[in-house]
Amino acid sequence: MKLKWVVLCIAFFLVSAAAPPAGAQSERTLAGEWIITSSPINGELASRLGNSLGFPDRDMFFEQQGELRSGFVLREDVGVNVRPLGSWRVMGNRFSTAFQLWCPNTDGPCGSVIMRGQFLSDDSVKGTMTVFFDQADAGRPTGYDTWVFSFRGSRKAGGSN
């Protein structure tokens, strides 16, 4: 019986000694440049009211300066200086972001995009995005036209901060 406890104590000690201390484990980060590719869910290529973001791929940049975590999306398709802004956070292996939509026409729907996902590795993510268009839709629980789709992303080589 004593031998069993000694073996268990030695095994526990070896496992504990081999594990990196909590401070040495690196927290995941979105900081850097990412290519995010979206895919329709259930074949829905647009919202119920016909709104779309008009893209399969986006080049996204995430930055961190102290506690401030910001991001922007390159919209080369509409102009060099068009860069919708956002913010992000990481909680363990999961993350969330919020971005404004670029609204070229004040008569058209604007809105925001919420991304929720998880890291597959330090340089790979997946999840879902929900777009909330600023257009009334009484048939939705939010009261606004919404569109949900999935995404996958890869950090660009040399794109980490």
pLDDT value at residue 5:
47
Q: Which residue has the higher pLDDT, 82 or 156?
A: 156
- Most confident region among 5-9, 12-16, 35-39 by mean pLDDT: 35-39
Q: How far apart are CA 54 and CA 141, in angstroms?
A: 24
Q: How far apart are CA 124 and CA 86, in angstroms?
A: 20
CA 53 to chain centre: 16
Average pLDDT over residues 146-160: 87
DSSP class per residue in 5-19: HHHHHHHHHHHHHHS
DSSP class per residue in 105-117: -TTS--EEEEEEE
pLDDT value at residue 109:
67
Rg (CA), the chain: 21
